[in-house]
Amino acid sequence: MMEDVKRALLELRRQEPTCKTVLVKQVLPDIEEAIAAGFTLKVIWERCRQAGFETSYKDFCTYVNRARRDTRRSAATSGRKTDANISVNVNRTESPNFDPLANIRRVEAERPGFHWRGTQDLDVLVHGEKKNRPR
């Protein structure tokens, strides 16, 4: 019985799809190449219609957009981070050697020209050194 089911599914895969979105999805790379070559979607639709793909232009655009959306969605899920990767990144940020402002400090130190780094101590500003005065 299992062999019969496998054989039936194999025969089904060899047949041409009845769903037009799946058919457009199969030829989507060719459609994208034609668009990249400078042909409009309407010209592509006319050629497909001449070849026997019976659908309206509006429906053809819908099928192409669905196929594009489905390929984007499958590509996005394949690059998704796993929970193990996220936990490793969280542990790395909690280490005491991690400095989130390291890039800013490096750029600030390498900045050309004069930069006033003021001080809040009046003695250092006026006399150039800190004096011990009783208050």
User: Is pLDDT above 90 for 111?
Assistant: no
The total of other beta-carbon atoms located within 10 Å of residue 28's CB is 17
Q: What is the mean pLDDT of the chain?
A: 78
Of 5-9, 20-24, 37-41, 74-78, the one with minimum mean pLDDT is: 74-78
User: Is pLDDT above 80 for 61?
Assistant: yes
User: Tens of pLDDT along 80-102?
Assistant: 555 544 554 555 545 568 888 88
Q: Where are the alpha helices (DSSP H) in 37-101?
A: 41-50, 57-78, 83-93
44: Cβ contacts below 8 Å, ≥ 6 apart: 31, 34, 35
User: Is pLDDT above 90 for 125?
Assistant: no
